[in-house]
Amino acid sequence: MNELSKRIITAIILLLVVWAWYFNLASPWFERGLAFFGWLTTCELILLVKLRRPWFYMGTAFLAWSAFCFSADLQPLLLIIFIWFAYFVYDSRKSQAAFDHFFTAIWMLGWLFAFALAIADTHLSKTGQGLIIGTCLAVWISDSAAYFVGRAWGKHKLCPAVSPGKSVEGAIGGLIFGVPAAAAYWVYCDVLPLLSALLLAIVTVIAGMLGDLSESSAKRIVGAKDSGRWLPGHGGILDRTDAMLMAVPVTWILWGLL
C-alpha cells in the first residue's frame, strides 16, 4: 500500500471517529475521550522533544489529564508546569539537560490544554459547536488553498527559518479562500453577524498558520521531520492538529469577547 492510500484511509477513519465522538458522546464520556486525546498527544510531545526519563512526565501528565475530566480548567496545566519544572531543575543537577527542548514541551502543552478547554466549553451548545466547525473549515480550506496557491505562484518565503516551503502568496491564498468559508458558515449558524464573522475568520486563519509554524519550530528545534508515527501516512497527532491547537483557543477567546 502506497503512502497516498495510507493517508486517505487514515483520514477517513479519523474523520469517522472524531465525528462519532464529538456529536454522539455525552458527558462524562465526551470529557474522558477529550482527556485521553490530550494525554496521548502529550505523550507524543514528550517523546518528540526527548525529555529525560519520559515515564515521569507521562505519569504526571496522566494525572493532570485525569483531573481535567472532572474539572475542565487551567489548574491542572499550572500544576503540571510547576511539577515538571521542579523535576527539570532537579534532574539538570545530575546531567546537562536541554532547556530549549523543555521550553518547547511547555509551549506546546499550553496550547494543547487551551485547545481542550475550548472544545469542552463549546461542546454543549449548538452555537459553540458551530463555532468549532467553522474554525475547522477555516483551517482546512485555508491550508489546502495555501498549498496549491503556493505551489503555483509562491515566490516570497513566509518564514524560511522555520518552514522553507511556505510562501507569502500561499498565505494570501489561504486568507482569500478560508475567510469567506468560515464567515459564511458562522452567519448561517447564527454564531456571529457578518462583520464580526469576517473579522474573526481573518484572525482564525492567521492563528491556524501560526499554529502550523509553531509545531514546525518545535520539530526544527529537536531535529525531527514528523512529530510521531502513530498515524500512517500522516506522521503524528501533532502533525494533524498543529494548526487547530492555536486556531481553536484563539477563536474561542475572541468569540467570547465579541
Query: What separation in angstroms does the CA of 88 have from each of 51, 91, 98, 106, 170?
Result: 9, 5, 10, 12, 40
Dihedral over Cα of 147, 101, 31, 20: its sign = positive
Domain ranges for the chain, please list them.
Answer: 3-257
In this structure, of 4-18, 68-82, 156-170, 175-189, the range with the lowest mean pLDDT score is: 4-18
Query: At a CB cut-off of 8 Å and minimum separation 6, what does 80 contact?
Result: 60, 61, 63, 64, 109
Per-residue model confidence (pLDDT) at position 5: 65
Burial label, 160 (beta-carbon count in 10 A; 0-12, 13-18, 19+): exposed
157 strand-pairing partners:
167
pLDDT surpasses 70 at 2: no
The residue whose grid cell reads 482569500 is 176
Q: What is the pLDDT of residues 126-180, one digit of tens each?
A: 999 999 999 999 999 998 898 888 888 878 888 887 787 888 888 999 999 999 9
Distance of alpha carbon 69 from alpha carbon 228, whole angstroms: 25
pLDDT range class, residue 14, cuts 50, 70, 90: confident
Find out whether 126 and 190 touch, Cβ atoms under 8 Å. no
Q: What is the pLDDT of residues 190-220, one digit of tens each?
A: 999 999 999 999 999 999 999 999 988 888 8
pLDDT range class, residue 113, cuts 50, 70, 90: very high
Find out whether 31 and 69 touch, Cβ atoms under 8 Å. yes
